[in-house]
Amino acid sequence: MPPVIPPQTDDDYWEQDGDPTQYLDTRWFQEPYPQLALIPDFPWFDGICLQRLSFTRHIGLVERVGTRWRLQKDIADSWLRLEVSLSFIAKKLLQKSSIALHLYSSWLPMPSTYGYRNIHSRARFAVRCAQKSQSAFLGLLATVSMGIMLYPRPLEETIPDVCSPWVDYIAGFEGVDRAWVEDLARSFVGHFDTSRIGAIVEVSKLSTWEMVRELYRVGIPLWYCWGELESKLERTGIQFLDEMAPPTMSEVEIESYYTRPRNSGAQPHHSRIPKYGSEQYEGEHWTNFFIREKERHCRILESETAEEREERLKFLYGSASPRATEFEPRSLVES
């Protein structure tokens, strides 16, 4: 469960007051914006498609135009091309959705609405707009992920992958590069083993259960709220939802069965806190930890130069310690 349960917001929150830098916070499920649950916990902008969104330093990010400032023109132009491409893909995929979308389903604000193409009076304003626009791309990418999730696929294919039918569908449009689409499918956009922020679902407010079912099918973390303590438990008649229903709503019975945590972030008795320095997150399953480590090592190998590799292999940890050895690349990328 999220350490802190956030307050509920109105359906027009993201259009009126929403800040895209808050996309990484787990929130209550909103039927107009189900794509928010698909935003990854730890977005990594790499590969052909997404590397243009990656920046960790502000040096060289903006440029002076006379007495004013803007995001570097080549970066802004590449962001615009990406925004147009992703919008096209999302529209085409959602038109083929296997379920009927909610009547008030809506797009999150587009990245360009946060001013990455504008000229600003101060460099810090240009940087701030770039940061908000980068965060807004997460909403657009999540909308593409939703389109991928809802695109019809064979029954035996529980989770979409790079071989899913949507890849052939999008690559079949004139002017679309198949290698680009396949790279998108391998990124967190189309790779559903990536950890997502999920959502808190208030069961009593659901007008339709199909979207929640699709999120559940691809393994998106969902927490279900069944009402106030001591209230009557109303089951839905939907099997997968009713399987999540608590056995009781009685506070006395709950407290007699469960140990009250010392704080909201306390670990359950069956989940040990990882040792310091292990790089494993609290509550993270060990299989997810090794998948994440494998991906991290792959990224290190891909960015390592020949000189860095040679130096790494010659490095000694100490006279009494074993020498660093070279591992076969396939040991890091194959299970």
How far apart, in whole angstroms, are the C-alpha atoms of residue 267 and residue 273? 7
Q: Could you tell me which residues are beta bridge partners of residue 62?
A: 71
Distance CA 69, CA 72 (A): 9
Q: What is the pLDDT of residue 263?
A: 55
**What 3-state DSSP class applies to 297?**
helix
Q: In what order do the strands lie in the sheet with 68-71?
A: 62-65, 68-71, 119-120
DSSP E strand boundaries for 4-79: 27-28, 62-65, 68-71
Checking DSSP bridges between strand 68-71 and strand 119-120, what pairing results, if any?
Answer: antiparallel
At residue 246, what are phi and psi to the nearest 5 degrees?
Answer: -70, 155
* Amino acid 319: pLDDT: 40
Q: Is the pLDDT of residue 124 over 60?
A: yes
Predicted local confidence at residue 305, as pLDDT: 85
pLDDT tens digit sequence for 156-191:
777 888 889 999 999 999 999 999 999 999 999 999
Phi, psi of 9 (to 5 degrees): -120, 160
pLDDT over 90 at 199, yes or no: yes
In the predicted structure, residue 314 carries a pLDDT above the cut 70: no
| 329: confidence class by pLDDT, cuts 50, 70, 90 | very low
Give the side-chain half-sphere CA count within 13 A for 281.
14
pLDDT of residue 253: 81
Report, as an integer, the average pLDDT of 106-134: 91
In the chain, where are the structural domains located?
A: 13-186, 199-257, 287-302+312-333
pLDDT computed for residue 328 by the predictor: 44
Record the tokens describing residue 156, joined without a space.
Answer: 């035996």
Q: Which residues pair with 323 in a beta bridge?
A: 316
- pLDDT, residue 55, reads 80
